[in-house]
Copies of this chain bind each other. A is one copy, B any other.
Amino acid sequence: MRIEVWSDFVCPFCYIGKRRLEEALGQFPGKNVEVVYKSFELDPQAERNTGQNMHEKLAAKYGRSLDEAREMTRNMTEQAKMSGLDFHFDSMIPTNTFDAHRVAQFATEQGLGKKVAERFFKAVLTDSKDLGDTETIADLAAEAGLDRQEVINILNGTDYTEDVRAEEAEAQQIGVQGAPFFVINRKYAVSGAQPTEMFVQGMEKAFAEEEKQPAFEDLSGNDGATCTDNGCEPPDNQTK
């Protein structure tokens, strides 16, 4: 099974959804499930760290008081806690995540996509780190096992820009309106940090289908050019 997840590291429901997906995965031990984290920016135009914390930003954006802004995030903090996550909106640093997504692409290529995604989420939502800052990204990526200097080189250049844009374009094409967005086996979609049970049900459906003999459309008509343990068979339409 393959689960694609579009999410952004500054997206609180994305981290909560990640935990709920992981809880669901824990209910299928020994099953082969590949989870792929894909690039999605809530706001590609977001400024880098302006010195405002998340509550100050929310208060300014909606013309509310700081207390009212705190009220807006309370529910998410409580939901996070139920998934064992510790959110700190009072010190959380809103920033632009494009560079972090470029590094996440590199991490996926290196087989470290999941580790780096986890580190980046925790950095923003729990540790109040600035994920738009080059040195911070490099430190976090190195903690997750990437080569720090390679990451610095990527951050100072433009590598992986197209990979990020391609996955964002893919999200747009399949109609993703917000994050997180989960797609199971290119067939079932789950929009949002839904309850763990919904992920479990989606995976059960998908596993049940995988166990049935899949009906591929055979383009080749089985006319040879294959090898078996009994030797190699040339194509039917060629003479030996």
Contacts and interface: CB of A to CB of B under 8 A. Distances in A.
Given A186-B186, A227-B11, A227-B14, A192 B178 contact: no
A214 interface: yes
A170 B210 CA distance: 9
Interface stretch (A135-143, A149-157, A215-223): A215-223
A23 to B, nearest CB: 15
B177 A228 contact: yes
A32 B4 CA distance: 15
Interface residues of A, number: 68
Interface string A59-88: 001000000000110011000000000000
A170 B178 CA distance: 34
A235 B193 CA distance: 8
A237 B234 CA distance: 61
A226 B111 contact: no
A126 B76 CA distance: 59
Given A110-B110, A201-B219, A232 B189 contact: no
Given A191-B218, A191-B220, A216-B174, A179 B227 contact: yes
Contacts of A188: 216-219
Contacts of A180: 226
- From A43, A185, A214, A219, name the one whose CB has the most chain B CB atoms within 10 angstroms: A219
Nearest to A30: B162
A13 interface: yes
A224 interface: yes
Given A187-B216, A219-B201, A240-B75, A225 B192 contact: yes
Interface of A: 8, 11-14, 16-17, 32, 42-43, 46, 58, 61, 71-72, 75-76, 108-111, 166, 170, 173-175, 177-181, 183, 185-194, 198, 201-202, 211, 213-214, 216-220, 222-229, 231-235, 238, 240
